[in-house]
Structure 1
Amino acid sequence: MDLLMKITRIDRFLVVFIGISGCFSVLFGAWLSHAAQGLIAEQMHRVQVAHQYQMLHTLALLAVVVWYRIDNSKLLLFSALSFTAGIMLFSGSLYLKSFFSITGISNLAPFGGILLALAWLLLIFVGKNKL
């Protein structure tokens, strides 16, 4: 399989992930506004933070993927993949801890946060080299 086919598959995966993450961001937002009264304050705060980070970084990921389609920079691809993994690890672990009381999973949140920060830092290098 040649490199172009692999890149096309990654590109498709990222677009599908953006759609799913964006959809769930809207659904979690609606749920938080209308049905989250059963959560204790700590759970509510954790879910709100996870939701906020998921929505913000999904939009950032969308922008990076659009930019990547214009300029096939490896740094943009690494940034997009870091955003994706960061969203899954940071927000995903906070959701799982809040909804299913899986306590050990929250240890993944800092790694997700580091990946989100790395994704932003990679954009510095893209901007420095391209703009």
Structure 2
Amino acid sequence: MPIKKLLFLAACTGALAIALGAFGAHGLKSLLAPEALATWHTAVFYHLVHSIFLIGICLRILIDASRRLFLAAYCIWGGILLFSGSLYILALGGPVLFGPVTPIGGVLLILGWLSIAAYALRLPAPDR
């Protein structure tokens, strides 16, 4: 996926996180049990944090189109989709078969962070 599309997707993902957070705070507050609402808030938190991280990765790709950065971006995007997406579904009373999807998304998020760590180790030492 070209960086322009990836950056667009990252921005839309962030906007969606804000919209879903507002929906949870205002539209679902009286409809969901406290445990389900807490699950929704967890999904929104991880969604938003990783959307911001994804934007940062995309901006770095504009400077250095490293494969590790693209790997990180794809892992983070997939992690948001699977981790937060499955939590949104579960919070709304969706089938429990989405439960095992959540940790897969979590692993993708971790792999995204580790891809950035691997990228950092390969950066040249700064001239001082």
TM-score, length of structure 1 as denominator length: 0.87
Distance, in Å, in 2 between the alignment partners of 1:78 and 1:84 is 10
- Residue of structure 2 equivalent to 1:89: 82
Is 1:27 aligned to 2:19, yes or no? yes
Which consecutive unaligned segments of at least 5 residues does structure 2 have?
none
Moved over 3 A (4+): none
Pairs aligned (count): 123
Structure 2 residue matching 1:34: 3-state secondary structure: helix
5 Å-filtered alignment, 1:1-131, equals 9-37=1-29, 38-131=31-124
Distance, in Å, in 1 between the alignment partners of 2:116 and 2:78 is 16
* Structure (1/2) with the larger helix percentage: 1
Distance, in Å, in 2 between the alignment partners of 1:12 and 1:90 is 24
Residue 119 to residue 26, structure 1, CA distance change in 2 (3 Å): same
Structural RMSD (CA): 1.3
- % identical aligned pairs: 27
Which consecutive unaligned segments of at least 5 residues does structure 1 have?
1-8
